[in-house]
Amino acid sequence: MAAPDDAAEEMDMLLSMFPDEARRDPTHPSTLVLALPFRFVLHVTVPPRGYPEAAHPSLFVAAGPNAPLITQFLSQLTRALREEVPLGGPMLLHIFTLAQDMAGELQQTREAAVREAQERREATESDAQLALAVRETSSVEVWASDAITDRKSKFVAHMARVDSEEAVRAVVKHLRRQKHIAEAAHPAIYAYRFTDAAGVVHLDSDDDGETGAAARILFLLEQLKVDGYLVVVTRWFGGILLGPDRFKHIMEVARNVLLTIPQREQEQGEGGSCRGGQRRR
């Protein structure tokens, strides 16, 4: 049965306002088909009698992202219709706006939940990869330089073979767990450089609060053409400011440990490289 004249005018107004989102059901002239966010399709049917003084339109969700969300959306929208849309006046625009907002909120909530779940999965995978790398690190040898002491400040460099960023993080984490290193003012000033299986060179550095120090170590790695190694310098502060001398000592312990690479590789028969070093200091 066709909608009453006042309802028909209300429907026509809504159709003219939202030509892309609203259309009349060709088989049921008293039904509006509304396209909503999150792929919801809502049918709003004006009753043949009693609208708008005594009856609300009936609602039917014809489509949506999945069955549970369709049920949730219809339940929430029906409750909102009874509580927020009063009898006695035009309702269709109010219902359409309400449905749009509700569908949009459901979409945002759902997408946020999916993002959070994805972030949790990625964090779990990252933790698992790091844990594996830490376990593997237990079998990776870490070499230390001789210490340099100046005005009660002490500097030591550690070096390890690495072939992935997970391995880098694992070695740094392993060193930071050492009590005497953890107590240092700057436990892990580091830089690394390695080439992956695809031939891509990976390099990065971290100052650990000693601004400019890590970039110097990275420059040293590139200058010596080091490939497949991480260098971590630890500085224990002795209470006296060293000024630029601190960078000299950081570079010296880093260079000293890097120049042992040829000897280390000869001992282990491994394939990293340091073409710039001629002898161990």
Provide, rounded to the nearest whole percent, the portion of the chain with pLDDT above 70: 87
Q: Do 155 and 256 share a structural domain?
A: yes
| pLDDT tens sequence across 203-257 | 999 998 888 889 999 999 998 889 999 999 999 888 888 888 889 999 999 999 9
Return the closest-CA partner of residue 39 out of 8, 69, 75: 69
Find the mean pLDDT for residues 183-196.
92
Q: How far is CA 124 from CA 113, 119, 166, in A?
A: 16, 8, 14
For residues 41 and 160, state if they share a domain.
no
Tokens describing residue 72:
């949730």
Give the C-alpha separation, 53 to 45, whole Å: 15
The answer to whether residue 280 scores a pLDDT higher than 50 is no
Same structural domain, 94 and 214: no
Query: Using CA atoms, how far apart are residues 57 and 46, in angstroms rounded to an integer?
Result: 5
Integer angstrom CA distances of residue 126 from 9, 31, 97: 59, 52, 43
Whether 275 has a pLDDT exceeding 80, the answer reads no
pLDDT band at 44 (very low <50, low <70, confident <90, very high): very high
Mean pLDDT calculated for residue range 175-202: 89
Q: Please state the separation of Cα 60 from the chain's center in Å.
A: 38
Residues 6+ apart with CB under 8 A from 196: 163, 164, 202
Three-class SS of residue 153?
strand
In a domain? residue 128: no
CATH of the domain at 56: 3.10.110.10
CA distance 110 to 231: 45
pLDDT, residue 242, reads: 85
- pLDDT band of residue 119 (cuts 50, 70, 90) is confident
Cα torsion 185, 161, 194, 260: sign:
positive
- My answer on whether 104 and 160 are in the same domain is no
269 and 146 in a common domain: yes
Residues 6+ apart with CB under 8 A from 236: 153, 154, 155, 183, 184, 185
Residue 134 falls inside a structural domain: no
Residue 239 or residue 123, greater confidence: 239
94 and 157 co-located in one domain: no
Contact (CB, 8 A) for 32 and 59: no
The DSSP letter of residue 225 is T
In a domain, 28, yes or no: yes
> Residue 228 belongs to a domain with what CATH number?
3.30.230.30
pLDDT of residue 130: 47
Read off the pLDDT of each residue in 271-280 and give the average, rounded to a whole number.
Answer: 42
Exposed e or buried b per residue across 40-66, where buried means at least 16 C-beta atoms within 10 angstroms of its C-beta: bebbbbbbeeebbeeebbebebeebee
In a domain, 98, yes or no: yes
Residues 54-74: pLDDT tens digits? 999 999 999 999 999 999 999
Token pair belonging to 133: 């790398």
The arithmetic mean of pLDDT across residues 40-46, rounded, is 97
Task: Calculate the average pLDDT of the chain.
Answer: 86
In this structure, the answer to whether residues 149 and 260 fall within a common structural domain is: yes
Question: Does the pLDDT at position 139 exceed 70?
Answer: no
pLDDT beyond 70 at 128: no
Task: Give domain status of residue 39, yes or no.
Answer: yes
The total number of structural domains that make up the chain: 2
**53 is written with which tokens?**
């003084």
Which of the listed residues 90, 110, 130 is the one where a domain comes to its end? 110
Residue 32 in contact with residue 24, Cβ under 8 Å?
A: yes
Same domain, 149 and 265: yes
- The listed range with the strongest mean pLDDT (33-42, 139-148, 162-171, 219-228) is 33-42
Q: Identify whether 121 is part of a domain.
A: no
Say which residue, 2 or 31, is predicted with more confidence.
31
Question: Domain range holding 48?
Answer: 5-110
- Which pLDDT band holds residue 277 (cuts at 50, 70, 90)? very low
pLDDT bucket at 143, cuts 50 / 70 / 90: confident
Same domain, 262 and 168: yes
- Which pLDDT band holds residue 132 (cuts at 50, 70, 90)? low
Q: Let me know whether 265 and 156 are in one domain.
A: yes
Task: Mark whether 91 and 192 lie in a shared domain.
Answer: no
- Determine the pLDDT at residue 267: 72
Asked whether residue 269 carries a pLDDT value surpassing 80, the answer given is no
Do 213 and 189 touch, CB atoms closer than 8 A?
yes
Residues 66 and 41 sit within 8 Å (Cβ to Cβ): no
